[in-house]
Amino acid sequence: MNEQADIVIIGGGIVGCSTAYQLAKMGGAGRIILLEKDFICSGSTGRCGAGIRQQWGTETNCALAIRSVEMFENLQEELDYPEDMEFKQGGYLMMAHTEHMLDQFRKNVALQRRLGVDVSLITPQEAREIVPMLNTDGMLGGTFCQRDGHLNPFKVTDAYARAAKRLGVEIRLRTEVTGLVREGDRITAVDTKTGRISAGKVINCSGAWAGELCRKAGVETPFYAEKHQILVTEPIEPCVKPMVISLYHGLYCQQSPHGSFIMGIGHPNEPRGFEMKADWRFASEMASKVTYLLPRLKDLHVVRQWAGLYDMTPDAQPVYGLVPPLTNFYVAAGFSGHGFMHGPITGVLMSEIISGRPTSVDVSMLDMGRFERGDLFIEPSVV
C-alpha cells in the first residue's frame, strides 16, 4: 500500500497530538496522518510527572510556560473533552538552600514579574505557612506561584487526539516507522510496517527517539535519551497543595487530587540510553530525601514505581523547526523533562513554523543550528 499525505507526524505524545490538532484547526494543511508505534501517550508523556510551571530563569521558557498555562486553563472547553483532566492549580513552591540559588531566584522573580507572572519570593516561615509539614532547616528562601499546577497527561493527550480526529486528522496506532525515504534534501516518503506513505512534509515528534528517527533521515543530531524514575505512594488526606521542588536535593514532590504523592529525582549524570528498568536504589534515595523535606510521609507505602525517558539535548532545551540540510523534515523534541508543560504552545508554534507564519513566541534561538554554532541556550532552573 502506497498512500499520499500532505503532512506526516511521527509520535503520539502530547507534542505530536497538539501539533496535529493545531495544524488541522489552522486549516489548509491538507491530509494529515499521525503515526504512533504503540498507543496514544505510550511513550514519555505517559511516564512524566505532568507538572506545569511558569517559574523559569530565561525569558523564552517563561513565555512558553505562560502561554501553555493559559491554554491548559481553557483546554477542557476548547477541546470539548467530556472527562475530568484533573487540573489542579495548587502552585509550585521552589526551595533555595544556597546563597547562589537564592540569588538566582531573585533574578528569576524579577524576570517573571516583568512578564506578568504572579510570583512571590518567600521566606522559610512563609513556606511553612503554605506547606505546614515542610522541613525548612537549611532553607534560605524560595518562590511560590499559585497558578502553577498539575494535570493528568493521559487525559490531556487523549483530548488532543480526539479533537484532532474530529478535525480530520488520521491517527494510526501500532504503526511503527521503519524507514524514511530521502531524495536529496527532502524526505519523500515514510515507510511503516504496513506500507509506504508519500509525504509533503514530515514532523518528528518522537520524543526520546527523535535522534534515532533523524538518523533514519541520514542526519546525525545531538538528541539523546536519558532515564528518569518516578514513584507513587498510597493516598492520604489532602495535606500538600503545591508541587514542592528543591533544586539542592534535585527533588520534586506533589500530592495528586486522589491523595497519592508523585515524586522524582533528577540525576544529571544518568547514563544515556533506552533502558527503562526501575531500581531499588532510586526508591531508597527518594525515600531518604523526601522524608527529610516532608517528614510526615515517612510511614507511607509505595504503590508504584516506574522509569521513563527524557528527550535530551546538550543544553537541556528543545529544538523547533527544520533539521538541516533537509527542507521538509521538521522536529519538535529535546524538551529535557518539560515537554508536557510546554505541549500546548508547542503545537501552536509547530503549526506556525510549518505554515510559514510568524511564531507566537520567538523560538528562533532554539533551532538545530545552535549546537554547531556553539550558541547553547542555558536554563538555570532545571530539576
Q: Do the Cβ atoms of 14 and 160 come closer than 8 Å?
A: yes
* 195's grid cell: 506500507
DSSP, residue by residue, 223-292: -EEEEEEEEEEPP-S----SEEEETTTTEEEEE-TTS-EEEEE--TTPPBSS-----HHHHHHHHHHHHH
- pLDDT tens, residue order, the chain (383 aa): 589 999 999 999 999 999 999 999 999 999 999 999 999 999 999 999 999 999 999 999 999 999 999 999 999 999 999 999 999 999 999 999 999 999 999 999 999 999 999 999 999 999 999 999 999 999 999 999 999 999 999 999 999 999 999 999 999 999 999 999 999 999 999 999 999 999 999 999 999 999 999 999 999 999 999 999 999 999 999 999 999 999 999 999 999 999 999 999 987 677 899 999 998 999 999 999 999 999 999 999 999 999 999 999 999 999 999 999 999 999 999 999 999 999 999 999 999 999 999 999 999 999 999 999 999 988 888 87
Q: Do the Cβ atoms of 343 and 66 come closer than 8 Å?
A: no
In 3D space, the residue among 205, 194, 193 whose CA is nearest the CA of residue 164 turns out to be: 205
Cα 229 from Cα 349, distance rounded (Å): 29
In 3D space, the residue among 31, 71, 40 whose CA is nearest the CA of residue 343 turns out to be: 71
Domains and CATH numbers, the chain: 2-47+154-222+314-373 (3.50.50.60), 88-148+225-312 (3.30.9.10)
75 three-state secondary structure: helix
Q: Do the Cβ atoms of 200 and 9 come closer than 8 Å?
A: no
Relative to beta strand 186-192, strand 195-204 is antiparallel
Strand partners, 255: 261
DSSP, residue by residue, 77-101: HHTT--S----B---EEEEE-SHHH
Q: Which residues of 324-359 are buried (b: 16+ CB within 10 A; e: fewer)?
A: eebebbbbbbbbbbbbbbbbbbbbbbbbbbbeeeeb
48: which DSSP letter? Answer: S
In 3D space, the residue among 314, 320, 316, 319 whose CA is nearest the CA of residue 350 turns out to be: 320
Residues 6 or more apart in contact with residue 321 via CB below 8 angstroms: 330, 331, 353, 363, 366, 367, 368
* 71's grid cell: 491554554
Q: Counting Cβ atoms within 10 Å, is residue 381 exposed (0-12), middle (13-18) or buried (19+)?
A: buried
Cα 214 from Cα 218, distance rounded (Å): 7
53 three-state secondary structure: coil
Residues 6 or more apart in contact with residue 117 via CB below 8 angstroms: 54, 55, 62, 66, 145, 147
In 3D space, the residue among 167, 181, 174, 161 whose CA is nearest the CA of residue 2 turns out to be: 181
Helix ranges restricted to H, the chain: 14-26, 59-78, 99-114, 124-130, 153-166, 210-216, 280-293, 343-355, 369-373
Q: Please give the model's pTM, rounded to 2 decimal places.
A: 0.96
Cα 52 from Cα 75, distance rounded (Å): 14
Strand partners, 35: 10, 172
52 three-state secondary structure: strand
Cα 368 from Cα 324, distance rounded (Å): 7
